[in-house]
A and B are shown apart, each in its own frame.
Chain A
Amino acid sequence: MAYRVRPAVIGCAIRPAIIGRDRSLEEIIYDISQAALADAGLVIEDIDGIVVGCNDQFDGRAISVMMASGPTGGVDRDILSTPSASEHAFVLGALRVASGHFSTQLVVSWSPTEASSMSEAQRLGADPYFHRALPLDELSAHALQASALNHVWPNAWVFAEAVAAKNRRHGAVAWPDPPARPRAGPARWPLTERLTTQPVTGAVAMVLAGESFVAEHSCKNPAWLHGMGWATEAAFLGDRDLALAPALVAAARQAYTEAGVIDPTAAFDVVEITDATAYAELIAYDALGLAPRDTIAARMADGWFARGGRLPVNLSGGVITFNPVFCTGMIRIAEIANQVRGCAGPHQLEGARLGLAHAGSGFAMQYQSAIVLGAS
């Protein structure tokens, strides 16, 4: 392992779907930051630095990190932001702890739904000359990816339906409170309503610490970082084969090399995948090396990726259960941290020791990350 200091996740907070308007965004960010600190048994004075993952278009502000300095505890503290993706805030927080310059980091991300049109906010991310007029939003890009996969794997739609059904079953266990389960979302062919989910407001925060801090503070159940990879694909969809995910292959290679994972099909107890659509989960099985494409059908028939199967994927219910769009990537990492810490809640997998989190974001999952966390 390359890290100068080994980072661990010592506190996590995932806010269930926030329904209604009784809390401002500042209050939501304050609540989630304090909840993660409380989970770690710390107060803000214990925190050396903060990294937030927030997005100007979704927040409806220019430089949205500015508003966050108060509610996260960033005043008179080191605070940076990664607007590219929520998961990048985790990556940078982990790098800062790994450098030994910081004992602790608070990483926070959120995704409001106050934008009058999420689709229009996302369309601003398309280049103004070629793609914006299509019109292209994230769901349309996911639909193009689904089409690409159906083209090379004509039965993919059958397995996509099965993946969505599996994740909804998992979601019913993980989030028994009905308001946490948003309605089926708008369809974009070939994505049916069953394969999409309405965006909801959400927030997530984690506390990271270095190994000496963990020892000195007797932190309970740390989730140790074993490996971390992140990579990007090109922006222009025409430059990509959307049925493949070379950036995820690269990210997985980085993470597995750091973690010493040789056979990913047998290495992990539990996995969280950013199922922005069920097709994205199918692509990730292959790109992460969890199941080559020609084995997926047989494994799904055996319940391999379901609760009780050999490698449960998305016991949290995944994005199709809970879709705070911008912070779904960091939520996957927090879910795996909680699984290996043994505090995932109703969907805890008994004896989970090593987990893999996949975070993907952008048009047709342009940004891809893979994070390996373990109980020891």
Chain B
Amino acid sequence: MSGAKDRDRVGIIGIGQSNFRSRRDDASYPDLVREAVVPAMLDAKLDFDAIDAVVYSLSPDAMVGIGNAERLGVDAVGGRNKRFLRINTGGATGISSVTAAYYHIASGVCDVVLTAGADKVGECGDSQTVLNKIWDPTYERALPLGTINMLAMSAVRYMQRYGMTEEDMAYVTVKNRRQAALNPRAHLRKVVTIDEVMESRVISWPIKLMDCCPQSSGGAAMVLASEQFIRDNKLDAVWITGVACRAETYWMGDRMGTNPTAEHADAYALGRSFEQSYRMAGITDPANQVHIAELYAPFSNTEYHAIDAARLVAKSGESVKRVRDGEFELGGRLPVNPSGGTLCTNAIAVTAMARVAETALQVWGRAGAHQVEGARVGIASGNGGDHQIFGTMVIEA
């Protein structure tokens, strides 16, 4: 394998996102996709004839209640008689879709690729009812396992191993809500206090209601292009310089043991994915070379092990103190989730794409009120399955 700098680069030339909300009764599912595609195409200053291929971003079909619902999105992305395929890696789907679009171009087959999708998590009834069905029906589903208690177990282990407290978890929520308040696209924008988080009802100890992401509806879209196309057409772009994906075991029972892959406090495969992305981008000291991070963390506790896995701190567990010191908030040394992150907006099919999009906007200098001053190098991540499939990217101005 070789790095992006050995070849023509792939750039991001257009971004579109919904204003994410609990419900969007005014828009059908394809309408939501279109709502993101139109601004992305306008941003790229291209018409649909320029699009060589579409990568459709959609996680579990059951979330929208339609099998292979990507088929109904074909017209919303202008996909008729064009190259079209869909990606699903659960919560990582959005970043996996950008990754797949990247390979369409890096292969030499396509010059311009649109990746887009939407979700109506807020209208699916109850996303946990769907997500309870991701576990093996014979052995683990009946425990019962859910995505919340799965990560509550990770939180307990992180507390035991690194000394994180419930207040430390609340601190992440307070930080991200304060940042989301500056982002008009974020779903939960109300500023909250440590006490309010601590007093919110327990969902699965130690995770409380305000430690949880919302169920959001909305869409996201991005247009990627080859360096040659960007230069020939004198387009503005930011560049994907590192890209990787890594998976862990499916089985929760395999997350208990002394092997690093079995340490449920940490995010082993996320760390491995970041290693590969950094290698490709030539980043050797991420804590000092990265200016902004959008890390997929649907529950407050998971932001800590994401920061650890991205090596934004010297050793795992150090993130707890550094968040308390304000190092990772807007105005701090290396803002994490300046958009408010997954904790404030989670339209599952495109949540990880939003991490990439927000990182791109930051290094482009176009993030708006939550812009990180002087950001030139950013990282993004996505987590899918039962904290199992991870995607990472490095994006540079």
A binds B: yes
Residues on A lying within 8 angstroms of B by beta carbon are 2-4, 48-49, 55-57, 60-63, 65-67, 69-70, 74-85, 88, 91-92, 94-96, 98-103, 121-128, 228-235, 239, 246-247, 249-250, 254, 258, 362-363, 366-367
Q: Answer whether residue B62 sits at the interface, using C-beta atoms and an 8 A cutoff.
A: yes
Residue in chain B with minimal CB distance to A367: B84
Please name all residues of chain B whose beta carbon is closer than 8 Å to the beta carbon of A85 when the two chains form the complex: 85
Q: Are B84 and A63 in contact (CB under 8 A)?
A: no
Which A-chain residue is minimally distant from B76 (CB atoms)?
A: A235
B contact residues around A235 at 8 Å (CB): 71-75
Does B88 contact A83, Cβ atoms closer than 8 Å?
yes
**Among all A-B residue pairs, the 9 with the closest Cβ atoms:** A124-B67, A98-B107, A99-B106, A125-B67, A84-B86, A88-B85, A232-B84, A62-B60, A66-B385
Say yes or no: A79 contacts B245, CB within 8 Å. Answer: yes
Of B79, B104, B136, B251, which is within 8 A of A95 by CB? B104
Q: A2-B108, A70-B251, A100-B7 known; A80 and B100 CB under 8 Å?
A: yes
Q: In chain B, what residue has the closest Cβ to A123? A: B67
Q: How far is the CB of B205 from chain A (nearest CB, A)?
A: 25
- Chain B residues within 8 Å of A125, by CB: 66-68, 71
A151 to B108, CA, bound (A): 42
Contacts of B108 in A (CB 8 A): 2-4, 98-99
Q: Mark B130-148, 1 if CB is under 8 A from A, else 0.
A: 1101101100000000000
Known: A48-B1, A99-B106, A102-B1. A67 touches B136 (CB 8 A): yes
Residue B224 interfacial (CB < 8 Å): no
Asked if B248 is at the interface (CB within 8 A of a chain A CB), the reply is: yes
Q: B247, A61: Cβ atoms under 8 Å? A: no
Q: In the bound complex, what is the Cα–Cα distance between A74 and B108 (angstroms)? A: 26
Partner of A250, one of B7, B74, B81, B248: B81
Contact of A62 with B130 in the complex, beta carbons under 8 Å? yes
Given contacts A82-B85, A103-B1, contact A76 B248 (CB under 8 A): yes
Q: Which residues of B contact A65 (CB under 8 A)?
A: 88-90, 385, 389
List residues 50-107 of chain B with CB under 8 A from any CB of chain A.
56, 58-62, 65-68, 70-75, 79-90, 96, 99-100, 103-104, 106-107
Scoring B79, B87, B104, B107 by chain A CB atoms within 10 A of each residue's CB, the highest score goes to B107
Chain A residues whose CB sits within 8 angstroms of the CB of B268 once the complex forms: 76
**Are B103 and A96 closer than 8 Å at their CB atoms?**
yes
- 15 contacts across the A-B interface (CB closer than 8 A): A56-B60, A56-B61, A61-B134, A67-B136, A121-B67, A127-B66, A128-B66, A229-B83, A230-B83, A230-B85, A231-B83, A232-B82, A235-B72, A239-B75, A247-B80
- Identity of the chain A residue whose Cβ is nearest the Cβ of B60 in the assembled complex: A62
The reply to whether A56 and B85 form a contact with Cβ atoms under 8 Å apart is no
| Among candidates B68, B80, B247, B261, residue contacting A57 with C-beta atoms closer than 8 Å | B68
Whether the Cβ atoms of A84 and B83 lie closer than 8 Å is no
Report whether B109 and A78 are in contact in the complex, using a CB–CB cutoff of 8 Å.
Answer: no
Q: Is B386 an interface residue (CB 8 A)?
A: yes
Residue ID in chain A nearest B62 by CB atoms: A62
> In the bound complex, do residue A254 and residue B247 qualify as a contact, i.e. CB atoms below 8 Å apart?
no
Q: How far does the Cβ of A231 sit from chain B's closest Cβ, in whole Å? A: 5
Task: Specify which chain B residues have a CB less than 8 angstroms from the CB of A99 in the assembled complex.
Answer: 103, 106-108
Count of chain B residues near A, Cβ 8 A = 64
B130 touches A77 (CB 8 A): no
Contacts of B7 in A (CB 8 A): 4, 100
Contact A81 B62 (CB under 8 A): no
Identify the B interface with A (CB < 8 A).
1-2, 7, 56, 58-62, 65-68, 70-75, 79-90, 96, 99-100, 103-104, 106-109, 130-131, 133-134, 136-137, 243-251, 261, 268-269, 272, 384-386, 388-389
> Once bound together, how far apart are the Cα atoms of A29 and B49, in whole Å?
40
Residues of A within 8 A of B71 (CB): 84, 125, 232, 235, 362-363, 366
Closest Cβ–Cβ distance, residue B49 to chain A (whole Å) = 13
- Assess whether A84 is in contact with B107, with CB atoms less than 8 Å apart: no
Which B residues are CB-close (under 8 A) to A74?
247
B272, A76: Cβ atoms under 8 Å? Answer: yes
Rounded to whole Å, the gap between the CB of A334 and the closest CB of chain B is 18
Could you tell me the distance between the alpha carbons of A152 and B82 in the complex, rounded to whole angstroms?
Answer: 26
Complex CA distance for A95 and B103, rounded to whole angstroms: 6
What residues of A have a CB within 8 angstroms of the CB of B90 in the complex? 63, 65-66
Which of A65, A77, A91, A366 is packed against the most chain B CB atoms within 10 Å? A65
Chain B residue at smallest Cβ distance from A93: B103
A-side contacts of B106, CB under 8 Å? 4, 95, 99-101
Is the beta-carbon distance between A78 and B246 smaller than 8 angstroms?
yes
Residues of B within 8 A of A63 (CB): 59-60, 88-90, 134, 384-385
- With both chains docked as a complex, state the minimum distance between the C-beta of B82 and any C-beta of chain A, in angstroms: 6
> With A and B bound together, what is the CA distance between A92 and B104 in angstroms?
8
Closest chain A residue, CB of each to CB of B10 = A99
| Chain A residues whose CB sits within 8 angstroms of the CB of B137 once the complex forms | 60-61
Residues of B close to A3: CB separation below 8 A: 107-109
Q: Give every chain B residue within 8 A of A81 (Cβ-Cβ).
A: 87-89
Residues of A within 8 A of B250 (CB): 66-67, 69-70
Residues of B with C-beta under 8 A to A66: 90, 134, 250, 385-386, 388-389
Evaluate contact between B82 and A82: CB separation under 8 angstroms. Answer: no
Given A57-B61, A99-B106, list of 6 further CB < 8 A pairs?
A63-B60, A96-B107, A100-B7, A103-B1, A125-B66, A247-B80
Bound CA–CA A353/B84 (angstroms): 29
Contact between B81 and A247 (Cβ–Cβ < 8 Å)?
yes
